[in-house]
Structures are given as structure tokens and as C-alpha cells.
Amino acid sequence: MSLITLNNIFKDYINGEVITHALKGITLSIESKSFLSFIGPSGSGKTTLLNLIGCLDKPDRGTIHIEEQAVAGFDRKSAAMFRSRAIGFIFQNFNLIPVLTVYENIEYPLILAGNVPAAQRRERVLELLEKTGMSNQKDKFPSQISGGQKQRVSIARALVTNPKIVLADEPTANLDHDTAYKIISIMHEMKNTFQTTFIFSTHDPKIVNEAEQIYTLEDGSITGFRAGTGKEQL
């Protein structure tokens, strides 16, 4: 059974009298432990697709199953609970809380969960600080670290709740190419370590091939698929 299944997904947005057909009949299955990228120009539907998988929005038509649950039918509270348990997010602009330290930013989702003992929180945060190479920066604030370091913190924060899925929308857009490669490499290592499915979108052609599976979107439809050089040899 696939981890994520989308069947005939349509999504429209209405702005006054203008209707934008963001997704047009998307059907797709994603296996557990995938490392997958959606590529395509602005307006192709990449972010909309990530938002639907992330239970941040609902399709107008079609079904979405994650871990065999029909998530498109969730109400707002159920969607939020499911996201907190099963999905992590990595943002283009990092979205770190400026008044919290690196350590506290990573710990924050565990505090929100409300059911994780302090000792367990500390163990998990310290593990991810080490895995992302940020242990020596744990007491600094976001304003005191570089863009690449902020994205490392974002990765650690996304993984701290042990989600099945991590969604990353343009995770390297604000980074130079060398740093971007390092960030994708860390994501790949985390996928192998924690058996997490990573799904990201990118415009950067130099980063695209670091994915294992690459889907091209154009005008709300999937128009192509290929394996990237990051594809693991079986």
C-alpha cells in the first residue's frame, strides 16, 4: 500500500470573475521513504499540490489518502491533529521564531504536542542538532546564524516529531548553490536515517537531480517523470 495516494485531484481558485485551474486531474501514488521533487514554472501547481498533501487545503474534486486515511474529508481540527503527528514542513523563508534560540525552535513542536516529557524532548532535540551539524549553534538566535544554518534548523524542526512525511516548498531558493547542495544532502541523509518521505518543489535545475524521483508539472497537470541521480541503487 502506497503511503500517499491522490486520485483525480482538481483544485480551482476564484478571484472575482477569474477562475484559476490550479490542478487538473492529478493522479499519483508515492511510496514510503521516497525522496521526490515536483518541478515546473511558477503557477504550474507545485505549491498547491504540496498544500493538499500537507492537509493545509482541500481539493474541489478527487480523493487523497495518507496512511490509508481519507485526509481530504478532515475538518480543520482533525487536519491540524494529523499534521502535528504525520507531517513536517520546511519553508523557503525558514519561518523560525526570532525570540527563540536554535534549540528552542527545534523543541517547539514537541512542546505544542503537549505529551512529550522534558527528558525525551531534550534527547530528541540534541540528536537532531548533532545530525544537522548545529550542536555548537544551539544557544544562538536566528538573527545570529546564516541562511544555510537556518535551513538546517528548519530541517531539524520538521523532523523532531518523527513525521512520516516532510514537505519542503522551494527549500533552497534563498541559498547559494553550494549551500543548497549541502541542504539537499542533509535531507537525503535524514531520509535514510529516519525512513522519512521527503517531497519538495524547486526551480533550481542544479538541485533537481538530487531527488530520486522527479515529476514535472505544467498548467496543473503532470507532464513528465524521470529518475534523478539521487536515485538509490537497488
Q: From CA 138, how far away is CA 26, in angstroms rounded?
A: 41
Domains for the chain: give ranges and CATH numbers.
4-227 (3.40.50.300)
What was the pLDDT predicted at 203?
A: 79
What was the pLDDT predicted at 231?
A: 58
**Cell numbers for 48:** 498547491
What was the pLDDT predicted at 202?
A: 86
Residue 96 to residues 19, 132, 179: CA-CA distances in angstroms? 34, 16, 18
What was the pLDDT predicted at 62?
A: 97
Q: What is the pLDDT of residues 174-193, one digit of tens each?
A: 888 889 888 999 999 999 99
Q: What is the pLDDT of residues 72-124, one digit of tens each?
A: 999 999 999 999 889 999 988 999 999 999 999 999 999 988 889 999 999 99
Q: From CA 65, how far away is CA 218, in angstroms rounded?
A: 23
- Virtual CA dihedral for 67, 213, 29, 57, nearest 10 degrees? 70
Count CA within 13 A, CB hemisphere, residue 225.
9
Rounded mean pLDDT, 152-168: 95
Q: From CA 13, how far away is CA 97, in angstroms rounded?
A: 30
Cβ-contact 59, 13 below 8 angstroms: no
Residue 101 has phi, psi (to 5 degrees) of -70, 170
pTM of the model as a whole: 0.91
Cβ-contact 39, 216 below 8 angstroms: yes
What was the pLDDT predicted at 207?
A: 77
pLDDT at position 69 over 70: yes
Count CA within 13 A, CB hemisphere, residue 52.
30
